[in-house]
Structure 1
């Protein structure tokens, strides 16, 4: 009998954008066209891109945010995609935006909201997303991020 394995996909990255909105720190959530659920920025690594380059590109494509301050969140988002039998392992980045960051969505999303932690966790459908937001909030909002996690994007 041959043992089957579940493939692991590591070709996707994600990023949580943070901005001080009207004096309060908030994170950006967007409602996807495909699936109709709330999420943060994510996308595939293309060509010879590094993970950090992919999230910088994806942020701009999905939101028109020009990333100037990027951090490795030191968190791996992971889930099993049952319909295609693949384990997704996704490095998470944090984009620190200037106050009142404007957003222009592309065709992948129908709407966006800048939200606090509790609202973000109430909006999203997946437990892994809630874990990402708890981690990001703890290490980037409640505490100053470590300079060791800053990504040099120049």
Structure 2
């Protein structure tokens, strides 16, 4: 049997950088791969509270426009023999958003969709970035997905 767990949340952030909408990716110190924001849900936190906290901790960004991405990342974690289900969120940041990295990340950059897909280490990440671009950039997101952050 392979148990299913959901103790992690993730988020992909968008910002207009020099006139073009881009995706924030950060290079993790552990593993040295590019990724979006992710982290564990703490006791007594909702998933949306956890991702707002993680965004601030990892980037210094105070989220103003948070949405449920209507998407679950999923993968098999061999070391724990579990299937991880990770609710994904997305946020629109200020134009030319500055980022202050914490010690979990070595560097960051804002990437076009094609660049983000090229940088992504895992197939699930590539699918996620394409999905978000289609549903949050090429289309106006549903107001039903918007989450109040205050």
For the aligned pair, the TM-score class normalised by the smaller chain equals over 0.9
TM-score for both structures, normalised by structure 1: 0.95
The Cα of 1:55 is off from its aligned counterpart by: 0.3
Instruction: Give the number of the structure whose alpha-carbon radius of gyration is greater.
Output: 1
Q: Which residue of 2 aligns with 1:13?
A: 9
Residue among 18, 26, 30 paired with 1:22: 18
- Aligned partner (choices 82, 102, 118) of residue 122 of structure 1: 118
Across the aligned residues of Structure 1 and Structure 2, the Cα RMSD in angstroms comes to: 0.7
Residue of structure 2 in register with 1:65 after alignment = 61
- TM normalised by structure 2 equals 0.98
Determine helix, strand or coil for the equivalent of 2:38: strand
Q: Offset at 1:83? A: 2.2
**Which structure 1 residue ranges, 4+ long, deviate > 2 Å from structure 2?**
none
Distance (whole Å) between structure 2 residues aligned to residue 62 and residue 70 of structure 1: 16
- Structure 2 equivalent of residue 108 of structure 1: 104
Q: What is the aligned residue count? A: 150
SS where residue 19 of structure 1 aligns? Answer: strand
**In 1, Cα distance between equivalents of 2:101 and 2:65:** 20
The residue aligned with 1:89 is 85
Which stretches in structure 1 are left out of the alignment for 5+ residues?
none
1:148 paired with 2:141, answer no
Residue 40 of structure 1: how far off its partner (Å): 0.2
Which of 43, 48, 71 lines up with 1:47 in the alignment? Answer: 43
